[in-house]
Each structure stands twice: as C-alpha cells, then as structure tokens.
Amino acid sequence: MTSITDDRSLIAHTGWGYFPVAFVARLPFAMMVVGVLTLVASVRGSVALAGLTSAAVGVGVVVAGPVIGDLVDRRGQRRVLVPVGLANGILLALFPVVVLTGMPEPVVLAAGALIGLTAPQAAALSRTRLVAIARHRIGGDRRERTLSRVMSYESAADETAFVIGPVLVGLLAAFLAPWAPIAVAAALSFAFVTAFALHPTAVMADRDAETAPARAPVRDVLSRPVLVLVAATFGVGLFFGSTLTSLTAFAQSTGDGEAAGLLYGLMGIGSAALALTVMLLPARFALRWRWLAFGAVLVAASAAYALAGDLVAVIVALSLMGLGVGPTLVTLFSLAGERSPAGRSATVMTLLASALTLAQAIAAGVTGALAEATSAQAAMALPLGAAALVLALGVVNARHDRAAEGPSGAAPARAR
C-alpha cells in the first residue's frame, strides 16, 4: 500500500470521538469473566461452579481469539467484528436466563464457552488499528514517538478497563441484582462494539489488511521472542484469576460476596495510575528491565496478600499489587508491538489477549475449587505463584536479549 503521511497528530487522523468509543467497547470483555463468576456464585451458591464457568469463558476466548485475529489480518476489522459483537451481545443477554431458570450445570458451562467464543477483541484491534494509522499516516520523526505513545496509552486503557469492569460488576451486583452486570455488558456489546467496528478509522486498518504486500507466515508468530510474551501474559492472567476468585472466597467468608468486585478494583487504582505514567519513564530504562523491576514488586505484594489475615491487610496488599501488575502488562504489550511479524499485528495482539483471558479463567476454576476444598486463606497463596512465574519469564527474556546483543552490546531490532 502507498502510505500517505503528513505532520498531523494521531488525534487529527482518528478524531476525538474515537477514543471514548474504543474504550467503552473494551468493557464487555473486561466484565464478562468477573460478571459470570459473580452471577453464578450468587445464584447457584457455588464458587467452584462459578470458577468452572469462568474457565469455560476463557477456553472459548483462547480457541476463538487467534482465529479472529487471523481473520482480521486477512479480511479486515469490519467484516469480522460486526457479526462477532452482535453474537456476543445476544449470548450475554441470554446467560442470566440460563443461570436463573435453574438449567443443568453442563448447559451453564456451555453458555459460558459460547460467550468466550464470541468475545469481541476490541482492545487488541484498537491497538492494531492505531499502530496502522501511525505507520501509514504519520511521517517523519513523529511516527516513532507516536507508536511509543500508542502502546503506552493502549496498555493503560486496557488496565483502566480491567479496573472499571470489575468495579462496575461489583456496583451493579451489590445495588441492583447479580444478573445486572451481564445485562449491561450485553447492551454495551450491542452498542459500542458495533460503533467501534463501524468507526471510520476501521477503513484505514481494513485497507492495510486487504493490500498488505508481505504478510509474514503464521509460523513467525510462534517465534521464541513472541512466545515468551504469550507465556508471561498467561502468567498475568493466572494472577488476575487467582486474585479475583480468592478475593471472592474471602468476601464470601465475611458474608459479603458481592463486594469482591469492589475490593478487586482497589488493585486497579494503582495499576491504572502506574500504567498511565509508564510512557514518562526514560528510554534508558529498557523494557526488559522494567519487566524485572515491576515483576519483583508484584511478587513482594503478592506475598503480603497471601499472608493477609483481615480486611485492612487485604486492602493494603491489593493496592500494592496494582503498582506491579499495571506497568508489567504495559511492558508486555509494548514488547509485543515491537516483535509482531509483518502483517500479523492483530494475530499477535489477540493471541496475548486470549492467553490473558484463558489463564484468568483457568485460575478462577482452580482457585475456586481450592477455596471450597480448603479455605479462602489457602486460595490467597496462589497469586504469589503466578507473580513468581511472570518474574521468572522476565529473567528468561532478559537473558535471551543479552545473548542476542552479543559482545558488542548492540541490541537487535526486536530485543528491547
């Protein structure tokens, strides 16, 4: 494709209206796992079933996510996202009926899996869309600066959505009804995912998808530098899922299970704040070292959470955990943007998003079962294991990058 570049800012190309639409379009994805967990736990009275249903959502996401990403890379965003968003809205609207009418557990699990299969990948596709606009519409030195800001903004927006999503679930479930969060997620999917899919910026991304001169083969996505990011994002998902479910068990043990989403949101306050400021960090603080630094914070805070014995200690630990997880997630997606093979940005981004959601759901299932079999306190130790995995993979990434630099110390294009 022939690029048409100029000196205008990214917002001049997208328009201000793009950003609120793209942000709200993320919320159904951010709300569905927590909303399913809360609804099933509240109505059926089983944290184990709720965790398994959330796991079914994650299985659906991981099966469909990379397929959706590949279809978008080949056919464009509008053709894929419009039918996916509408189908997801319908399935979300039907899920409370399935749970509230007492349908058998296999039907509940199947309904959760279908929600995951149609999960709209708005966050990954927004990142892909803005990167395409920056690369093909913005010229000169501004392009690289814009690409860096896009990655920071998108990761911060993801974090903020993952904060607002659970908080919305907690508020709606506590003040309206346990089915209210899923009903709201369905309405948002119908309205905002469709609006995001049809936004004029999609035309630019679709044109890139249709006319890309050299799309890398799928096997390039499975390279070691990309797979270590997928594995680390999976670890972050394990952290999210085990934290949320152990927190749900803790809240239920205090007689206020619907408050779990609100408590979970406390972790997101520091997470979102740090994610928004990552773009201000100096370039010499390389991405691989950020991964190690913030991963270490996550491990320390998770240890405090595992040892917390009362509500005040849990609140303090959750706040500290947010200081580690937000910047870590920003770093992983920034590295993914740099390491995506040509023409495979949507595939890589949806692969990371799928790994995050799958791990979150699997951890929810395992943690829920452990909480019911033993205690909430035992389940609260699991986030520490997930945090340790993220940090260990950061060490692997740093060692690989240092080896790739060679004796000269000059970093290759993809080793950051």
212-232 pLDDT, tens digit per residue, is 556 666 666 677 888 888 999
What is the domain range of residue 136?
10-405
Q: 415 lies in a domain? A: no
Q: 412 lies in a domain? A: no
Q: 5 lies in a domain? A: no
Query: What is the number of other CB atoms lying within 10 angstroms of the CB of residue 406?
Result: 10
Q: 113 lies in a domain? A: yes
Least confident span in 162-166, 260-264, 317-321:
260-264
The secondary element (H helix, E strand) that includes residue 413 is none
Are 37 and 173 in contact, with CB atoms under 8 Å apart? no
240-272 pLDDT, tens digit per residue, is 888 888 888 887 776 665 566 667 766 776 676
Tokens of 73: 């890379």
Cα(384)–Cα(267) distance, rounded to whole angstroms?
15
Q: 411 lies in a domain? A: no
Q: 135 lies in a domain? A: yes
Cα(63)–Cα(116) distance, rounded to whole angstroms?
8
Total count of domains within the chain? 1
Cα(130)–Cα(123) distance, rounded to whole angstroms?
11
93-143 pLDDT, tens digit per residue, is 999 999 888 888 899 999 999 998 998 878 878 887 887 787 777 766 676
Q: 243 lies in a domain? A: yes
Within 186-257, strands assigned E span none
Q: Is 154 helix (H, G, I), strand (E, B) or coil?
A: helix
The secondary element (H helix, E strand) that includes residue 126 is helix 122-137
Q: 2 lies in a domain? A: no
Rounded alpha-carbon distances, angstroms, from residue 161 to 28, 153, 189, 268, 385: 9, 12, 14, 9, 25
| Domain at 77, CATH number | 1.20.1250.20
**What predicted TM-score, i.e. pTM, was given to this entire model?**
0.73
